[in-house]
Amino acid sequence: MKLMPEEVEQFKRTGYLKIDGRLIDDEHLTVLRQHYDALFSQKRGTIGEGLRNLAVVGESESDESADRAEEMLQIMEMWSLDEEFRKLLYHEPLLDIAESLIGSDIQLFHDQALYKPAYHGGEVYWHQDNAYWQCDPPNLVSIWIALDDADEENGCMNVIPGSYLEGLAAHERAKSEKGNLPALLEVDADVDRAVPVPVEAGCAMVHHCMTLHQTNPNRSPRDRRAMVVHYMPSGTRNRDGEVMTDKPLLRGKLT
């Protein structure tokens, strides 16, 4: 179901939207959680090979003790690893939201699982997604799906409303990460303007690729498993100025 005009207006004003109502029903949620957990356990111990710990500071991402201290675990391109996550890309309620915001010709930019384990889930610093991506035009949207209830205790999303209208902020490298992995970026954001966006399991929030956002550490006894799908209007160019015709077309046509 498409977004209501007032929801689209709200997104245009603020650069994010908490979606009203459930997008993933209980049965579907159970299946997604099982597949999500299976992929993380399968990849456990293979940091650097498809699994990243974004919370690692210092010398080595494969240093086991560093990995145990704080974990902000990421698996990219879940859709290419698991049929359930491939099907999720085509889940009508998600594509309807994307279509309401970026039009009917929709490609996947990428997807990712972002897992903050209970007690020692790490932080994600203030950033705008397009500081990483450098896509042109910067009109991508991300649907952030909660597989667990996500609130202020276990690291829900915090956003700065309206920040997407203020241009690209000056990002700095947050930490020295080693290997071939790029360092995380960070911005000195005006936290007084920040608002938390708690999302219940099976529900979602959507944000613009220029919206400043961040998530806090998870010190709670509850896991925070999230899945994010990043959608782009067909015809979007990558950082090298090339139209990304290779990305999966999810709805409509390639332009």
Binding positions for ligand AKG, rule: CB under 6 A: 114, 124, 129, 142, 144, 155, 213, 215, 226, 228
Closest residue to ligand AKG in the complex (CB): 215
Q: Which is nearer to ligand AKG, 138 or 155 (CB)?
A: 155
CB of 115 to ligand AKG, least distance (A): 9
CB of 142 to ligand AKG, least distance (A): 5
CB of 15 to ligand AKG, least distance (A): 12
Q: Which is nearer to ligand AKG, 61 or 111 (CB)?
A: 111
Cα(102)–Cα(139) distance, integer angstroms = 7
Burial of 194 (C-beta count, 10 Å sphere; 0-12/13-18/19+): middle
Cα(58)–Cα(75) distance, integer angstroms = 20
Tokens describing residue 95:
């594509």
CB of 173 to ligand AKG, least distance (A): 16
Q: Which is nearer to ligand AKG, 215 or 234 (CB)?
A: 215
CA angle, residues 240, 143, 93, in degrees to nearest 5: 120
Q: Which is nearer to ligand AKG, 37 or 252 (CB)?
A: 37
Q: Which is nearer to ligand AKG, 82 or 129 (CB)?
A: 129
Tokens describing residue 154:
């276990």
CB of 253 to ligand AKG, least distance (A): 27
Cα(73)–Cα(47) distance, integer angstroms = 9
Of 219, 227, 76, 74, which Cα lies nearest the Cα of 155? Answer: 219
Tokens describing residue 36:
């999500």
Dihedral pair phi/psi, residue 245, rounded to 5°: -70, -15
